[in-house]
Every structure is written in C-alpha cells, then in structure tokens.
C-alpha cells in the first residue's frame, strides 16, 4: 500500500467519492466484477498453500531478486529502476506474529520514497517487497502526477507479476511456492475482497474502504501484463493511463 493522498479510509469519503475519483460508475464496476468472477473460476482449486518453511533468502537477497526482475521486465528503464532502488530508504521491520504490514511513503517528486515492510523469511517476502517497490517506482516515474489508488495498486501488482515471472527460473522450491502464493493471493483479491466491493455497490453513501481498490487493480494488472507492450506498461507507471483509458485499450 502506498501512503494516503486523496483516499484516507475515513468517514469523510464514501463509495460515490471513490467512483468519482476513478472516473467509474456503478455499472462499469459491476461489469469489472463479472470479469473478475471469471478469473476467479479459473484458479485451480488446489495448489495454493505455500510451504511455510524458510525461503533461505535474507532481505538483501530478496531486494536483489526484485530489482533484477523489474530490470528484466522493463529493460529500457533500468536506470530509473536501479536509481529508485539505490536512493529510496528501505526499512525491514522485525515481524511479530503473522500480521504482515508494508508501506511506501511518498515524500514528493523532489525526494525518493521510504519503503517499510515486515520480513518473515518466507516466499511471500518476494511479493511484498516487489509490491512496495512497484509503488516506489510509480512514484518516481510519475514525477508528482496524481494517480488514483486503483492505478497505483495496478503498478504494484505489475511489479509482483514481474517477480512471479522471474521466479520461474529459480530453484524448484522458490518457483513452485511462488506460484502457490500468487494463486492464494488471487483467491483473496478475486474472492472475499471482490465480494465486499460488490456488496458496497448497493449504496453510494457507504463509507470508503481501501480494500475496494485491490480486486480491480489486480485484474487490470493481469490484463495489462498480457496485452500491453513494455513501453505502454511504463506509461502506466508514469501516470499516463486512467482506468477508462486502460479499459478502452483492453476493450473491456
């Protein structure tokens, strides 16, 4: 999750505000949720529980894999990717229990972000770090341009997709459990969180929840990764694409 801008989870914002911020309407949201249900139906029923044992990667090794994955995913922008990694502040916080928290703080276009995250020594660390680095890269690429939360989360999920693809070249334990973790996450985003959003669409005045952003962002990231060229994907990170423009380009 990137730090709040015009989307604090508070009683001052409601569904209507969220729809307006993204240029969405109720009907479009319902159509997207119908498409998301199709994605959910294609997720295998089994094989989505990652092995809980250690991934054998320390935080520096996790970061190295994430940065290399992003450079491979967007090779024309390797300089920006490496500079964002080198100059952003990265803080690994000791994990307590199983509550996973991560945050990327935007200090404005003249400075580099701060990335804070829990480290568990599990496969999930790769995806959490990739997600937050996606936020950091989007912050730098967009150069202070406002991006609504769904598009910011789309960038973060595109970064997760890059590490998933990269992990296919890793030893079997990492490769297999990365796929398991990805499927488990998809079930959550396209299952429970999508259902909550669908229920919220019944009332424009219902209080805003940040979790509404995730199902649509995850779905868009999957489609963008499959159908956009790498340069168009960079344009997404740069803030050139609204949700409407993405949907038009994808013909959804």
Kindly give the parts of the chain with pLDDT less than 50. Answer: 3-8
Is the four-CA dihedral 177, 178, 181, 182 of positive or negative sign?
negative
pLDDT, position 50 = 76
Which residue's structure tokens are 């940065």?
67
pLDDT, position 4 = 43
For residue 208, give both structure tokens. 């805003």
pLDDT, position 99 = 65
3-state DSSP of 212-242: HHHHHHHHHHHHHHHHCCHHHHHHHHCCCCC
Nearest CA to 50 out of 118, 86, 88, 98 is that of 98
For residue 132, give both structure tokens. 């937050």
> Using CA atoms in the order 208, 212, 217, 220, what is the torsion angle rounded to 10 degrees?
-110
pLDDT, position 213 = 98
Q: CB-based burial of residue 39 (10 Å sphere; 0-12 exposed, 13-18 middle, 19+ buried)?
A: middle
Query: Residues near 98 by Cβ (< 8 Å), separated by ≥ 6?
Result: none
Query: Residues near 218 by Cβ (< 8 Å), separated by ≥ 6?
Result: 153, 157, 185, 186, 189, 190
Query: Residues near 15 by Cβ (< 8 Å), separated by ≥ 6?
Result: 200, 201, 203, 204, 205, 206, 208, 212
pLDDT, position 227 = 97
């Amino acid at each position: 999750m990137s730090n709040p801008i015009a989307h604090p989870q508070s009683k001052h914002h409601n569904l209507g505000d969220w729809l307006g911020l993204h240029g969405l309407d109720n009907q479009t949201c319902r159509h997207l949720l119908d498409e998301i249900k199709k994605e959910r139906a294609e997720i295998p029923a089994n094989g989505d529980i990652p092995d809980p044992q250690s991934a054998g990667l320390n935080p520096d090794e996790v970061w190295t894999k994430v940065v290399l994955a992003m450079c491979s995913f967007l090779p024309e922008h390797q300089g920006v990717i490496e500079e964002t990694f080198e100059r952003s502040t990265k803080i690994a916080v000791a994990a307590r229990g199983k509550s996973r928290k991560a945050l990327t703080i935007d200090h404005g276009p003249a400075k580099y972000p701060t990335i804070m995250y829990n480290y568990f020594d599990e496969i999930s660390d790769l995806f959490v770090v990739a997600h937050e680095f996606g936020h950091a890269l989007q912050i730098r690429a967009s150069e202070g341009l406002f991006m609504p939360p769904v598009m910011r989360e789309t960038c973060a999920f595109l970064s997760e997709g890059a590490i998933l693809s990269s992990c296919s070249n890793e030893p079997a334990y990492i490769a297999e459990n990365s796929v398991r973790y990805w499927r488990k996450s998809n079930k959550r985003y396209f299952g429970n969180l999508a259902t909550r959003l669908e229920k919220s669409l019944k009332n424009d005045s219902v209080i805003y929840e940040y979790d509404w952003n995730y199902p649509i962002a995850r779905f868009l990231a999957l489609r963008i990764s499959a159908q956009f060229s790498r340069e168009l994907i960079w344009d997404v990170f740069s803030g050139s694409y609204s949700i409407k423009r993405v949907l038009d380009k994808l013909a959804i």
